[in-house]
Structure 1
């Protein structure tokens, strides 16, 4: 999902949950998607920056200054701060997942700007943070490797949705062998193209994906009784590292909260109902953040509705296309002074077939 307005119902719910509980792995539900940003890394970074401790504010200000020196960010990243590229204390790039997070932040704009512009943007941002250190050239090298990996990944057969069906089945089921092949191919690409960066970029994710596949195999094994399946699943969980078990628990909390929000929205529940449901799942502080985000989004939707009504009046005037487009563009700027809000409105206009 690259443009979140195109799937704004489910995306909005996920966005609220990311704000409420913080960014964690998307888990089994998204584990075979391409590794680019689980739902807008820019949003996740803003959330993390907003909820971080006070000592981090000085670092964020320095990073924001560096971003300004490196040039304006694309509209969809407006108001956010690029993640920090870590070093090892000796001027070299630290081999951590944070480096991938930096690249993924900018990759969220790949449908907004050209590949050449994206490449130039990333290089400028690297220089803004690391210029004059060996880490700068190292980061450019990793960026090139990552791009080669993503390009090769796009060329792999899409086996994640492979299904098989026997004459006795009324529905379809996942082809677990095809899923295994997909994982193995991804692992091989990472080893070949990312080298020593494969583990920090994809190690934890790959481990979770293989574990998820093992769980699927256990759950689908008709030769096992319910008790045997439960015992094997418990043993599988017990063998996981503590941090992985903690991540799974956070993922379960996220899903429970997503279900609660989805149910409240389906029923047309009030904000008080939404607050009560999220409080039960995640606690009062998370519920307050979700409600605040819901209120902000509701206000934006109301503003867009007012804008749409006035845009419809322009449409009725049967103006020449160029004049019509100019008036709609001016109207949009009046309603949405923030460039990212204006881009969101334009995207909705295109979806409705009313855009200039």
Structure 2
């Protein structure tokens, strides 16, 4: 159960990030300046599904198309970002294309990989069908999956460039961090090609800048005044658009902190959605508040349904039936409570986590 709850919490945090970012700027990125990590290992399965689907007769004609028609539960009530075009029917090479894919990738722990792939294909077709941009977007989707899969296999250091030594409690291995960034950059250049800069250019630049700041801050040979001077010079050398991006990131983090605080406050008040709505409205506005509340309501409803199901499953357990008969009854019960296959998979995962099997 703990593992499933971590996955659920991660997906919810990513969606809350989308809520928060949307409140700041409709075109802002979902995961600005967040490096892909091992959390994307499951995307490798999406890449495999994407490769297999290349034999489909036409874009959107996928064997899982019926399952991909509707948005997953965690995205219910939201709209996918728009894929940008250049005015001549071709896909525009901007970060917004990555935002489109990242929107759907937040559900990778919620739905099967093949269903996710089919969903993205259908959404590409819905927005771009009949234009060269449709095939271009599909090609970039396949490249992005290959990139995430390859990055997920890279050796991971024990720290990232962002935390300071005082935050981690240990001196970071700057050489290892530099190697990790260089390896990721190399993978992007190799697999993303001309899309590497639009997808990761600003992110990579900030990460290298963060590493330079960390190197300065941890240099024992420098006085505090020398460190301050070098850090100021480093910031001054950044392009204006990068400094503006840093400010947007700061605002986004503040928005995420507000959402987390609102959740915690609502839980203290007995799960009051009105308290959550009021606190988020004060800082992010009513639209972001309503999106966050709707997601919380959906999650609350799902948890209540699972609790009812678990109670009835416990009654089956008390009958001390043979294992095969017990599992068959639990499976039937689960299908009655969770008609959506992804919901049934989630319930089964929670069952396994609690030691209930089935």
* Cα distance, 1:347 vs structure 2: 2.3
Q: CA RMSD in A?
A: 4.3
Q: Does the 8 Å CA contact 1:162/1:175 hold for their aligned counterparts?
A: no
Distance 2:290 2:126 in 1: 36
The Cα offsets for residues 152-183 of structure 1, whole Å up to 9 and x where unpaired, read as 323422235499xxxxxx95322122111111
Q: TM-score, length-normalised on structure 1?
A: 0.69
Distance 2:313 2:7 in 1: 23
Q: Does the 8 Å CA contact 1:24/1:251 hold for their aligned counterparts?
A: no
Q: Does the 8 Å CA contact 1:278/1:287 hold for their aligned counterparts?
A: yes
Secondary structure of the 2:175 match is helix
The Cα offsets for residues 73-122 of structure 1, whole Å up to 9 and x where unpaired, read as 1887365765544332223222122333444455556665457x766665
Distance 1:108 1:260 in 2: 22
Distance 1:285 1:109 in 2: 22
1:58 paired residue number: none
Larger relative contact order (CA 8 Å, sep ≥ 6): 2
* Cα distance, 1:263 vs structure 2: 5.2
1:350 paired residue number: 352
Instruction: Say how many residue pairs are matched.
Output: 320
Q: Does residue 179 of the first structure (1) align with residue 183 of the second (2)? A: no
Once the two structures are superposed, the pairs formed by residues 107-256 of structure 1 within 5 Å of their partners are 107=105, 112-113=111-112, 126-127=124-125, 129-159=127-157, 161=159, 172-226=170-224, 229-230=227-228, 232-238=230-236, 239=238, 240-241=240-241, 242-256=243-257
Aligned mate of 1:327, from 325, 329, 335 = 329
Moved more, 253-262 or 87-96: 253-262
Q: Runs of 5+ in structure 1 lacking a partner? A: 40-64, 164-169
Q: TM-score, length-normalised on structure 2?
A: 0.69
Distance 2:129 2:146 in 1: 24
The Cα offsets for residues 220-265 of structure 1, whole Å up to 9 and x where unpaired, read as 3334455554555455445352541332222331353255247537
2:302 paired residue number: 300
Secondary structure of the 1:158 match is coil
The Cα offsets for residues 281-326 of structure 1, whole Å up to 9 and x where unpaired, read as 5456645554454344334323322221111111111233443333
The Cα offsets for residues 28-52 of structure 1, whole Å up to 9 and x where unpaired, read as 6x43626959x9xxxxxxxxxxxxx
* Cα distance, 1:200 vs structure 2: 1.2
Q: Runs of 5+ in structure 2 lacking a partner? A: 23-27, 44-59, 162-167
Secondary structure of the 1:72 match is helix
